Amino acid sequence: MLVLLGVLSVVAVPQFMELKREAENRAALQAVMEGKNRLTSQFAIKLMTSEEEANDLAAIAAAVNPDAGDYTLSFAVAGSDVEVTATGVPERGVFGTAKGKWRNR
């Protein structure tokens, strides 16, 4: 019986930890989508108020609130794209990380 438990722990525990990490990162994708939606909203606001500012991706990204509940959003402008990164807040027991790109077209 002990041998069986030992074998299960050697095989199952690492697989469980990998599945847990993957699930945390998949959950972070929800926060990335939230960040993209916020960028789209800011783009629409800038487009309605000042077309010049609508092309300023750095200004659009700076106007977005980075707090997404259990995740912190960060934005990096690269050419005509904005890379959105969602990082879990460890103080809330959330550890996932995900990235995505947003374009204003």
CA distances from 104 to 8, 43, 81, 85 (A): 50, 7, 8, 17
CA distances from 3 to 12, 17, 24, 85 (A): 14, 21, 32, 44
What digits encode the pLDDT tens for the residues 77-103?
998 899 999 999 999 999 999 999 999
Instruction: Average the pLDDT over 26-52 and give the result.
Output: 91
Task: Domain ranges for the chain, please list them.
Answer: 2-103
Q: Is the whole model's pTM more than 0.75, yes or no?
A: yes
> Taking 80 as the threshold, does the pLDDT of residue 9 lie above it?
no
